[in-house]
Each structure stands twice: as structure tokens, then as C-alpha cells.
Amino acid sequence: MKLKNDLFLRACKRKPVDRTPVWIMRQAGRYLPEYRAVREKADFMTMVKTPELAAEITIQPVDIIGVDAAILFSDILVIPDAMGMNLEMHEGKGPVFPNPIRTKNDVDKLKVIDPYKELKYVLDAVELTKKELDNKVPLIGFAGSPWTLMTYMVEGKGSKNFSFVKQLIYNEPELAHQLLDKLADAVADYLSAKIEAGVNAVQIFDTWGGILAQNEFEEFSLQYITKVIDNIKRKNEPVIVFAKGVHYKLNRLAKSGADVLGLDWTMDLGKVRKKTGDKVALQGNLDPCVLYADEDKIKEEIIKVLDSYGEGSGHIFNLGHGILPDIDPEKVKALVKYVKEATAERNSK
Amino acid sequence: MKLKNDLFLRACKRKPVDRTPVWIMRQAGRYLPEYRAVREKADFMTMVKTPELAAEITIQPVDIIGVDAAILFSDILVIPDAMGMNLEMHEGKGPVFPNPIRTKNDVDKLKVIDPYKELKYVLDAVELTKKELDNKVPLIGFAGSPWTLMTYMVEGKGSKNFSFVKQLIYNEPELAHQLLDKLADAVADYLSAKIEAGVNAVQIFDTWGGILAQNEFEEFSLQYITKVIDNIKRKNEPVIVFAKGVHYKLNRLAKSGADVLGLDWTMDLGKVRKKTGDKVALQGNLDPCVLYADEDKIKEEIIKVLDSYGEGSGHIFNLGHGILPDIDPEKVKALVKYVKEATAERNSK
């Protein structure tokens, strides 16, 4: 079945588009009253693990906000959870692993997962969502990068200084590489299965890439992102890499096999576009806090992002990070509407 | 009186040096048992406000670790505290202002401070420290940038998304500018008084500059850092600006009037040196977590930092952020010793 709106996929491949596609990181989330209504009846992990609920939440922003792509409601930590780490979600404290990875024994004990078994609930959610979406817009699937997953698995909970994972890479680099390798296989298998189940694109979140020095990023993160991308079984489904805070090695990232780089709001789209020489499409990068402003200011800041990218295809409008839970949904609707109108007008000139 | 060791000051001005000077951000801190011994008898703010204790703690790392500069033990938030905000230090939670700034009335109520009155305890600490240091090494004084101070004052406590301060700049930019202007005056007066009291250099910490998009950084932070530097009364005392996470506008920062830019560990010293065209000296930038590694690895990483800067004067060795409280002081001693030896050997070639 052909997609009714394939703007997002076209822009990922830098093909001509009538207007710039737009979606929002964490668009299926707490800022929506419709999301909170579901959340009142089920806890977070139940929502993630129940295909009917995951599908319902995934589709909400397509209908309510009018985005050009859906992204499957899930969590990057379902992989370590499936490997046997028992993910706990603590209200207001974020994810916790009661037994963080600290030794070779901990790494060896991690299960090699078969996504068709341990993560079947995700694949079922993909299939159900695709059916309910009825080809209205493409569906994105996502995963954490091996480095970002390892960071959570080793720290065990939120961290300010990332002392444990840094100790691991400095003092036991071989063990770190062993774990990263294991995770790269799991992530590639998982994303391949999601694609087989029907997602039209995948995004790899390297949330913690930016805590590494430049050479360490290459050794401990980029290398494994590249391995994941190499091993994903896909036909033409684009891969997006969002490495928050990674302001360096962008040229190397652009050669990782990714079709799209997601950029946070501290980056300059135009400069990155020049640097990466149109090898990749770019996604981003409005500061999520701009949505606290009034609509005139929001429009002004949208225009700055559009101007910064400049003319031509290859831009996917998004925030530079996930939408915050206390944002007014009316402003998000206004943002999406305005990006559509402003870019359609620009493209018709 | 002439300083016995002026390597740090010479490097700040990019004059020739026999070896690279080295000091450590937060060197007068919790990782030292001698610091913790004082801390057991007095709480943090008492230590800050008692010149005898502040002087004692300031000098500890000079004697114990062998650094080439002392930095006055204090806190960037003494300024808002003196303006009437009643700084509270909560163990494990960090600084709290019970009545954060949210309205024009809050801003208007802030006292215009005279550092010779409200912050006399700092100036007394400077004089006492200078006396006790006996010109062994230079003494650095520091302050927060107006933007960073405003961030703490508006958020009121630790923040993940900085929603309140972002709301202020988007929705009430005039009020934000009014507050920043007031803070720029206070910071300049404060640093001028510290220089008059005897500090040999000053460092401005822009801890939260990096949460801003590039143009916002220029409007809300850099502009006021420049104003502070313009208004500091100084003879030849160098100004260091450390803007954590600010990977952009480095050329503009280099033209702010600063003599030295401090860089975090995600920056490449060599590339920044090329970009800023030897307009400024550079300070940094070893990842503080490298001190979790063994001594061989630490040496290896030190060499990478030195190689990255390259030959010639204008480098001050430091960490890329404050030292962490659980670091073994023996490793810090080893670091300082090794930087001294390695760079003396390189310079003699």
C-alpha cells in the first residue's frame, strides 16, 4: 500500500518536496491530555508492552497535532530490559536498573535476545499501528545507540557525571567494547525486525554521545552506530541518527550510513549543512523551550530555523530535543500548521 | 612584591614559559581530606564567609597538590545572596533560592550591592590569602557570568530543562535584559574590588551558556560577559572566560576582551586554537573522569591534550570541568607532577 503522505520519507532521501515535513520528538507524550487519559489507567511500562495502548498513543499526535510522521510509542530501554535487566520506571526519577552492569560476569549474563520473542510486543505494536494508521503517514521506529544503552545499563539510574561508565571505558576498555558489540548486534536485530514488521524509517538516539571527548566518541559511540547501520536489514527505509550535544565529528557521522542527522538546538543547521556537504538530510532543531513563548515569537523562531537551513530539500522540521510535558498542545498545533504553511509558500515561489 | 612563580600569568598573556602551568577547577574541594576536615567543623556558607577558613582551604592545593595558581575558595552565588536572595546550600541537592526571581517586582527588589560592604568577607579573604600565600603563586578570583547567575536566580534550584529562565527570555526579554544589566554591573564591581584587594587574575564561569541556541547566547550571555570585561578595573590582570558547552561563537568569545578561554573536554584545543587565531590563550581540557583511570592512562590522556594544543606558549593545563569529589588526591598530585615534567622536557628540546 502506498503512503498517502510520504513527505517525510522523501525529505529523508533529499528528494524534492512541496513543503517541509514536520514531526516532534516525544510527540506521543505527556503534554497531550489524550495521552494522560491513557496513562491514568496504565503505568508507563504497561503502555509500552500493550500493543493496543502503544498503537493508540502513537496515533494520537497524527490526528490531534497533524504531524507528517508517527513514531512508535516505546522506550529505548526495552532492549536492556529484554536482556534481563528488569527496567523499573520511577515516577519523577526516571528509569532505574536495580542491578547495574559493573563486571565481566554482569556482561556475560546478559541474554542474547531474539526480537521476535522477547520484544514481540513491540513488533505486534508496529503491525497494529500500521493497520490503524491506514497509510496516512509513515511510521518511525527507534532504538538507543549502543553507547547510550550502555550508559544507562552501567550507571543504573540518572547520573550527573557518568562516573561509572567513564570508569569502565578508561579502566576496562575491552569489557566496554565487548558490551557495546553485544548491544550493536541487539540494536541491529531489533531495528531489522521493526522494519520487517512495517516501520518506514528508524531513528537511533545517541542521547549521551555528547558526554564523550571527541576521540572517545569515535571509539565508543560512532563506531557502534556505524556497525548498527551496516547490519540493519532494510530496503529503502531511511536511518536517522540523533546524537545530542555532539557538535564535532559531524562529517564522520554523515558518513556512518545515516540518511539523516538530527541536530539539537545549539547547532546551526546552515553551517552543518555546509560541513556535511549535502551527504545527509538534516532534522531539527527548534529549542523545545520556544514553545513556552507566544505564537508570534514561535513563528519568528520557526522562520530562523527555516532560514538557517536555507533552500532546497533535505530538511525535516523538528524540535532540537523532546517536547516538554508542560507545553500547551494548542501551541504545538500552531507550530505544525505554521511550518506547513510557511514552507509551502516558500516552495511555491 | 614579585611572584615567585608567575608561569600561569605569563601563559595567560601568551608569553614564553619554561613549562606549561597547571591548576585544577575546584582544586580547593571535597576530594581533599584536608578540605573535608575543615568542612566537618563548619558548613559550606560559613566556610565561604569566614576569611580564615576560606584562606586555609584556598591554599591547601598549592601546598598539597603543587598547582601553579590558587583560586579563592568561594561560590558564584555570593552575588545574588548579597543582593538579598538568601542562598541556601542543601546537602546533595545543591544551591537553593527559596524565592526565585519571576516578576519585574522581584528584579526591582534586588539590592544594588557595594562589594566593599555586602561582600567585604570575600575581599578580606583575598587579603588574608595573599598574605599567607606569600607570593608563592598567583591568586585567581572568580565570578559567575550574568547569564549563569540569572539562570540560578530564576530557576531557584537545580533544573533539567531550564524552563523558567527560558520562559523569561522568550516572553519578557526586556525584563531579562534589565536583570542581566544589573548583574553585569554587580559582577564587574565585584571583580574590580577583588582585583583591588589583590587577586592576580579573574575567571568568569558561564556554566549555563551552553543551554542557549547560538544567537541567544550572543544576546543573553556573550553581550553581558563583554560588558563585564569592559567594566572591570584592572591593570594587567588577565580575564579567563569558561563557557561550558559553548562550542560555537568561539571567535566572538575570543574578541570579548578575555585573555584566556577555558574549554570543556568535548572541544579540540588545536582546532579552537586555529579558529581563534592565537587571539587568546586556552585553558583546559582533560575530562575530569580521566582521573578515575590508572596513572598510565592518565599520562596517555595528558599527552593527548598537550599534543592537541601543540607547540608554543598560551596553554594553561586544567581539567575540562571541576574535579569530582571522589577522586584520589594521589592521582591529582601525579597529574600535576606529570604535566610539569612532560612540558618542561618538551620545552627544553
C-alpha cell at B212: 542557549
- Indicate the SS3 state at residue B197: helix
Omega before B86 cis (within 30°)?
A: no
**DSSP-derived 3-state class of residue B172:** coil
- Cβ distance B256 to B263 under 8 Å? no
Say if A212 falls within a structural domain.
yes
Tell me the C-alpha distance between A31 and A61, whole Å. Answer: 11
Judged against a pLDDT cut of 90, whether residue A160 lies above it is answered with no
Cis peptide leading into residue B99 (ω within 30°) = no
3-state SS assignment for residue A244: coil
B70, B59 Cβ separation under 8 angstroms: yes
Rounded-to-integer distance, Cα A182 and Cα A278, Å: 32
Instruction: Please give the pLDDT value at position A159.
Output: 86
What are the residues whose beta carbons fall under 8 Å from the beta carbon of A345, sequence distance 6 or more?
none
Mean pLDDT, chain B, integer: 96
Domain count, chain B: 1
Summarised one tens digit per residue, pLDDT across range B267-309 is 999 999 999 988 999 999 999 999 999 999 999 999 999 999 9
- Contact partners, residue A341, CB within 8 Å, separation at least 6: none
| A189 occurs within a structural domain | yes
Entry pTM? 0.95
Query: B245: which chain A residues are within 8 Å (Cβ-Cβ)?
Result: 245, 266
Q: Is the pLDDT of residue B93 over 90?
A: no
Q: Is residue B2 part of a domain?
A: no
Residue B220, C-alpha cell as written in the block: 543573553
Whether the Cβ atoms of residue B293 and residue B301 lie closer than 8 Å to each other: yes
Q: Which DSSP symbol is given to A322? A: P
- Of B102, B53, B105, B113, the closest CA to residue B79 belongs to B113
Please give the C-alpha separations between residue B142 and each of B26, B66, B191, B255, in angstroms, as whole numbers: 12, 20, 7, 20
Chain-centre distance for alpha carbon A19: 22
The nearest alpha carbon in chain B to A327 belongs to B163
| pLDDT value at residue B261 | 98
Across the interface, of B214, B266, B294, the residue whose CB is closest to A213 is B266
Residue A216 CA neighbour count, 13 Å, CB half: 25
Report the pLDDT value the prediction gives residue A277, as an integer from 0 to 100: 81
Residue B148 lies in a domain: yes
Quote helix, strand, coil % in chain B, to nearest 5.
Answer: 50, 10, 35
Is residue B165 very low, low, confident or very high in pLDDT (cuts 50, 70, 90)? Answer: very high
What is the distance of C-alpha B232 from the center of its chain? 16
Residue of chain B minimizing CA distance to A170 = B293
Q: ipTM of this model?
A: 0.92
Confidence class for position A59, pLDDT limits 50, 70, 90: very high
Is residue A2 a part of any domain in this protein?
Answer: no
Q: Does residue A346 surpass a pLDDT of 80?
A: yes
Check residue A341 and give its pLDDT.
98
**Which domain does A98 fall in, by range?**
7-348
Q: Tell me if A292 and B210 make a contact (CB, 8 A cut-off).
A: no
Question: Which pLDDT belongs to residue B158?
Answer: 83
- Any catalytic annotation for residue B152? yes
Task: Identify the CATH number of the domain in which residue B331 sits.
Answer: 3.20.20.210
* Residue A46, number of CB atoms within 10 A of its CB: 13
Residues B251-268, mean pLDDT to the nearest whole number: 97
What pLDDT, on a 0 to 100 scale, did the predictor assign at position B91? Answer: 76
Whether residue B163 and residue A326 make contact (CB cut-off 8 A), yes or no, is yes
CB A140 within 8 A of CB A67: no
A75 catalytic per annotation: yes
Nearest Cα to B115, choosing from B223, B189, B203?
Answer: B189
Tens digit of each residue's pLDDT (9 = 90 or more) over A73-118:
999 999 999 999 999 998 777 899 999 999 999 999 999 999 999 9
User: Closest to B161 (Cβ–Cβ): which among A166, A214, A289?
Assistant: A289
Q: Is B102 a catalytic residue?
A: no
Assess contact for A87 and A158: CB atoms under 8 A: no
Per-residue confidence band for B159, with pLDDT thresholds at 50, 70 and 90: confident
C-beta of residue B153 within 8 angstroms of C-beta of residue B101: yes
- Contact B294/A at CB under 8 A: yes
Please say if the pLDDT value at position A47 is more than 90.
yes
Q: Which residues of A touch B326 (CB under 8 A)?
A: 163
What is the structure's pLDDT at B36?
97
Q: What residues of B are in contact with residue A166 (Cβ under 8 Å)? A: 287, 289-290, 292
A1 within a domain of the structure (yes/no): no
H/E stretch holding A100 reads none
To the nearest whole Å, the CA of B194 is away from the closest chain A CA by 31
Backbone angles phi, psi at B113, to 5 degrees: -95, 150
Q: Compute the residue count for chain A.
A: 349
B64 within some domain: yes
pLDDT at A349 over 80: no
Put simply, whether A130 touches B (Cβ < 8 Å) is no
Q: Is B91 inside any structural domain?
A: yes
- Active-site residue among A10, A14, A31, A75? A75
**Do B225 and B255 meet the contact criterion of CB atoms below 8 Å apart?**
no
Residue among B70, B320, B73 nearest B201 (CA): B70
Q: Is A174 on the interface with B (CB under 8 A)?
A: no
Q: Collapsing DSSP states into helix, strand and coil, what is residue B262? A: strand
**A266–B245 CB contact, under 8 Å:** yes
Q: How far apart are CA B146 and CA B179, in angstroms?
A: 8
Nearest CB among A163, A214, A324 relative to B289 is that of: A163
Measure CB to CB from residue A297 to each of B170, B245, B268 and give the nearest one: B170
- Beta strands (DSSP E) in A93-183 are 94-96, 139-144
**Rounded Cα gap, residues B160 and A130, in angstroms:** 34
